[in-house]
Amino acid sequence: SQQGEEDPQALSIQEGENATMNCSYKTSINNLQWYRQNSGRGLVHLILIRSNEREKHSGRLRVTLDTSKKSSSLLITASRAADTASYFCATVPVNDYKLSFGAGTTVTVRA
Partner 1 sequence: DTGVSQDPRHKITKRGQNVTFRCDPISEHNRLYWYRQTLGQGPEFLTYFQNEAQLEKSRLLSDRFSAERPKGSFSTLEIQRTEQGDSAMYLCASSRDRVTGELFFGEGSRLTVL
- 57 forms part of the interface with partner 1 (CB under 8 A): no
Q: Which of 20, 24, 30, 67 binds partner 1 (CB under 8 A)?
A: 30
Q: How far is CA 80 from the centre of its chain?
A: 17
- 43 forms part of the interface with partner 1 (CB under 8 A): yes
Q: 70-89: buried (b, 16+ CB within 10 Å) or exposed (e) per residue?
A: bbbbbebeebeeebbbbbbb
If the CB atoms of residues 41 and 110 are measured against partner 1, the closer one turns out to be: 41
Q: Which of 21, 70, 104, 109 binds partner 1 (CB under 8 A)?
A: 104
Task: Give the up-direction half-sphere exposure of residue 59: CA atoms within 13 A in the CB hemisphere.
Answer: 7
Which residues are registered as beta bridge partners of 6?
A: 23
Residues of the shown chain interacting with partner 1 in the complex, contacts defined by CB under 8 A = 2, 4, 30-31, 33, 35, 40-45, 48, 50, 88, 90, 92, 97-104
